[in-house]
Structure 1
Amino acid sequence: MTRATLNKTFTQADFDAFAELSGDNNPIHVDPVFAGTTRFGKTVAHGALLCAVLRGVVEELVPGGRQLSQETMYPAPSPVGEPLQFSAEITAVQADTVQLDLMITRLNDQTITCRGKTELAR
């Protein structure tokens, strides 16, 4: 297998639980009234939450791999209640490392909300 995907739709309860766990209570993530007044129109996922889910997808491809580096960019928001597809694809395999491309796509309109790369030791 060189590619793995996971479809997930976050609820406000998911965002609230992650905020409690991480200590990141930015109102853009946890206050629907505030977020409704922003350009996003509703609460959006924490970047760290998105990376945590991506890490789980990567684990399917490289079980037990130790992450050496990761770079992510967020060109669009990942709003509450919108179906997302998390994907990881192996792009290079060396003797002791694996490189993967990472992506999150909003399924309703195919907007890419996160793009990145990671390298793991195996």
Structure 2
Amino acid sequence: MSLPLGPLFTLEHVPTQAEFELFARVSGDDNPIHVDPDFSARTRFGRTVSHGMLIYSFVWAELRRRFPNAVAKRQTLMFPHPTYAGEPIRITATVDSVAGRLATIAVRVARAADDTPVTDATTVLDLGAA
């Protein structure tokens, strides 16, 4: 498969408290910082924050939609700032390199309001069967 270098996609999403709670249920990570507004109000964040992997799951869903047969070979993830329910995020993916069947995709997720980064990721996909 030939994949050009450069922008791959940009999406916007508004995470919800319901998504935080459902992700806590399926992942088993029910830390109160994600699901308990009263607890979270007393933290430095002042409200619930998303699981980092929930945010990455939005990225992965779009990658799978575009490349349904691709296999993730490796990824790096950093979550430099929190993501809050009700605040839009912008997900931007860029094809950094292609070597044979492997494509390296750089992903940046930022708060739409002020461009504060909430997730930085690199994912290497094997597009062999894509």
CA distance in 1, matches of 2:64, 2:32: 31
TM-score of the pair, normalised by structure 2: 0.87
Residue in 2 aligned with 1:7? Answer: 12
Answer yes or no: is 1:37 the counterpart of 2:42.
yes
Answer yes or no: is 1:56 the counterpart of 2:55.
no
- Mapping for residues 26-105 of structure 1, pairs under 5 Å: 26-105=31-110
TM-score of the pair, normalised by structure 1: 0.93
Q: Structure 1 residues 111, 84: closer, same or farther in 2, change over 3 A?
A: same
For residues 81-110 of structure 1, the C-alpha deviation after alignment (integer angstroms, 9 at most, x for no partner) is 100011211110111100010111101111
Residue in 2 aligned with 1:18? Answer: 23
After TM superposition, give the deviation of residue 51 of structure 1 in Å. 1.4
CA distance in 1, matches of 2:50, 2:102: 30
Q: Which has the larger radius of gyration?
A: 2
**Paired-residue identity, %:** 35
CA distance in 2, matches of 1:80, 1:11: 5
- Kept in 2, the 8 Å contact 1:57–1:86? The answer is no
For residues 18-66 of structure 1, the C-alpha deviation after alignment (integer angstroms, 9 at most, x for no partner) is 1111111000100011111111111111111111111123235544210
Amino acid across the alignment from 2:57:
A
CA RMSD for the aligned pairs? Answer: 1.4
Gaps of 5+ in 2: none
CA distance in 1, matches of 2:116, 2:27: 27
CA distance in 1, matches of 2:40, 2:72: 33
Runs of 4+ in 1 over 6 A off after TM superposition: none
- Kept in 2, the 8 Å contact 1:5–1:57? The answer is no
CA distance in 1, matches of 2:25, 2:76: 25
